[in-house]
C-alpha cells in the first residue's frame, strides 16, 4: 500500500480547482484491496483536513469534519 495522504494530494493536483474526489478513488489508487484500505484513507483525510490541505463536502455543502459520505476537495483560497 502507498501513502494515502500523498495519493489524495496527487489525485487532487490533477483535478480542476472546483473538482472533488471520492475517498474510494484514493483507496483504489493505493491498494488492490480498496475496501480494506478505507480506514487508512479516512485517517489520512482527517489529518489533511486538520492541516488545512483539503476541504470536505457532501452534495455541495461544506463539512467541518468527516462524517458519513463525503467528497474531498482543494482547500479554500482565502
Q: Which residues have a Cβ under 8 Å from the Cβ of 28 and sit 6 or more positions away? A: 34
**Residue 46 falls inside a structural domain:** yes
Query: Considering its fold, how many domains does the chain have in total?
Result: 1
Domain that includes residue 31, residue range: 4-73
**What is the spatial distance between Cα 62 and Cα 46, in angstroms, rounded to a whole number?**
15
**Residue 28 falls inside a structural domain:** yes
**Residue 33 falls inside a structural domain:** yes
| CATH of residue 51 | 1.10.10.10
**Residue 78 falls inside a structural domain:** no
- Return the SS3 of 15: coil
pTM, 2 dp:
0.91
- For residue 70, is pLDDT > 90? yes
**Residue 41 falls inside a structural domain:** yes
Over residues 10-68, the pLDDT tens digits come to: 999 999 999 999 999 999 999 999 999 999 999 999 999 999 999 999 999 999 999 89
Confidence (pLDDT) at 78: 45
**Residue 30 falls inside a structural domain:** yes
Alpha helices in 1-78 (DSSP H): 4-13, 23-30, 34-50
Q: Which residues have a Cβ under 8 Å from the Cβ of 27 and sit 6 or more positions away? A: 4, 34, 35, 37, 38, 40, 41
Confidence (pLDDT) at 77: 59
- For residue 1, is pLDDT > 80? no
CB 61 within 8 Å of CB 39? no
Amino acid at each position: 500500500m502507498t501513502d494515502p495522504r500523498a495519493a489524495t494530494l496527487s489525485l487532487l493536483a490533477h483535478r480542476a480547482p472546483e473538482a472533488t474526489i471520492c475517498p474510494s478513488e484514493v483507496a483504489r489508487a493505493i491498494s488492490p484491496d480498496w475496501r480494506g484500505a478505507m480506514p487508512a484513507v479516512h485517517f489520512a483525510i482527517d489529518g489533511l483536513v486538520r492541516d488545512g490541505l483539503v476541504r470536505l463536502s457532501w452534495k455541495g455543502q461544506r463539512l467541518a469534519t468527516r462524517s458519513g459520505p463525503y467528497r474531498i476537495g482543494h482547500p479554500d483560497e482565502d
